[in-house]
Amino acid sequence: MLPQPFSLSFPQVLSEKPFCVGQANAQAIAWIARWPDWPKRGLYLYGPPACGKTHLASQWAKTAGALVLHGPQVHDAFVGSLPQRPESAFVLEDIHQVPRDVDVLHLLNQWSENKSFFILTSRVPAPQLPFRLPDLTSRLRALPSVAMLDPDDALLQKTLAAHFAARGLHVAPEVLAYLYPRMNRSFQAVCDMVDQLDQASLLYQKEISIPFVRNVLECGGGIREQGRP
């Protein structure tokens, strides 16, 4: 069966976190969209926590019919039990968490023999992986490698609004504008901030307003007992 063209729609059911498109992930999206026109049949995708690696890999896995593996579960017996599926596809999430480099090498050998497509995800670039086998490190570094970067202001704002909306929280634009300059510039910070405000809002039964946000931020996650927002 010929591979089907990749769709650029990103249904949220594939990920528990919203995914927003911006300059930080445009190159990664472009590479995923090129499939199956990949020069080495594999892609190394890396970036900080919560940047959307899993979302993109999951979307591709659905399209390609890929089996999704996770770094900590990869060991010799597991690799040997994988079905030999010519022209199949795989995702290996968190390659940096695979316990032994020899098992990664076995996977790459198997996929090469079967002409499989694959995506490897990690938090670090390939040269920073803790593997020492020369054949493995050279093969990993030879793969097309794409970074998913921390968000710029526009993507940060879009992502923050999407995370609140995904939880069914109505947050006025002026509240979002108040939050932007008071946050760390990372996708993980967005997740943490929304979670913190959502929990505080539920605990104190308050709407997420500017006074409420100010109080929560000043009190490190709680709110003042006196003069609550």
The pLDDT tens digits for 41-57 are 999 999 999 999 999 99
pTM higher than 0.85 for the full model? Answer: no
Q: Provide the CATH number for the domain formed by 153-218 in this structure.
A: 1.10.8
Q: Give exposure, 54-76, as e/b (b: 16+ Cβ within 10 Å).
A: bbbbbbbbebbebbebebeebee
Distances (CA, A) of 210 to 75, 197, 206, 215: 50, 11, 11, 8
Question: Would 12-147 and 153-218 be classified into the same CATH topology?
Answer: no
Alpha carbon distance 88, 106 (integer Å): 16
What confidence tens digit (pLDDT) does each residue in 117-157 have? Answer: 999 999 999 999 999 999 999 999 999 999 999 899 899 99
What confidence tens digit (pLDDT) does each residue in 78-87 have? Answer: 777 776 555 5
Question: What strands, in cross-sheet order, belong to the sheet with 67-70?
Answer: 67-70, 89-93, 117-122, 42-46, 145-147
Range 12-147 has CATH code 3.30.420.40: no
Q: What residue ranges do the domains of the chain occupy?
A: 12-147, 153-218
- pLDDT at residue 12 tops 90: no
Alpha carbon distance 179, 183 (integer Å): 6
